[in-house]
Amino acid sequence: MKAAVITFPGSNCDRDLAVAFERAGFEVSRVWHKDTALPAGTDVVGVPGGFSYGDYLRCGAIAAQSPVAAAIRAHAARGGYVLGVCNGFQVLTEMRLLPGALMRNAGLKFLCKSVGLTACAESAFTDGYAQGQRVDLPIAHHDGNYTIDAEGLARLQGERLVAFRYTDTPNGSMDDIAGVLSANRRVLGMMPHPERAVDPAHGGTDGSALFARLMGGMALA
């Protein structure tokens, strides 16, 4: 399986994401934001955390208009997998690959700590966790308050597209939402960082199951 990890000016988790994919067995290519095509045979695109384009305008807004964005949209449109983490989640909402928006944290402060999550949906990303299983992953964001209109929230709930919920919401997100899936369950955006929890030396490995299960699920698809 092949993964492509995007780098924007201001990305700071692109290497971490590439390493997490590699540990799970993916062949990883690094893609610059000015590239207009993904490497041939790409199965999953990773959109990393950081501060793309300095978070000017809105977080992820400029990245969503970058040259590589059209290739990511086309990949998703043909059923390819996409994982956006933190700033990557913000980029995917700005690209309208996922619904909702990430607003300023309710406490108006940057948050950097480990948080508890529970897996809430079935997908190639989440099936490595039992439904309701608690996992602990780090967060590092200033604009992680997931917001969506009532109709959109009802759809996410009714179609079980909420991938992860916080056990104790740190940022004010509606319905404790920490991550959401696209309608076909092949695009995941999440604020916590699974790629920062794949090495015991970093304090935990709860993120490993996401990458391992994605590798296994895609191989069977």
The per-residue pLDDT for range 187-213, each reduced to its tens digit, is 999 999 999 999 999 889 999 999 999
Q: Active-site residue among 13, 59, 86, 120?
A: 86
- Annotation says 122 is catalytic: no
| Mean pLDDT within 150-155 | 98
Which superfamily is assigned to 2-220 in CATH? Class I glutamine amidotransferase (GATase) domain (3.40.50.880)
Q: Give 27's strand partners.
A: 2
Of residues 221 and 75, which shows the higher confidence score? Answer: 75
Query: Is the model's pLDDT at 221 over the cut of 80?
Result: no
Long-range contacts of 178-183 (CB under 8 A, 24+ apart): 178/115, 178/117, 178/146, 179/89, 179/117, 180/98, 180/99, 180/100, 180/146, 180/156, 181/98, 181/121, 181/123, 181/125, 182/76, 182/97, 182/98, 183/159
Q: Return the higher-pLDDT residue of 57 and 103.
A: 103
pLDDT at residue 157, rounded to an integer: 97
202 is catalytic: no
Residue 75 bears catalytic tag? no
Give me the catalytic one of 33, 75, 141, 193: 193
Asked whether the predicted pLDDT for residue 219 surpasses 70, the reply is no
pTM of the shown model? 0.96
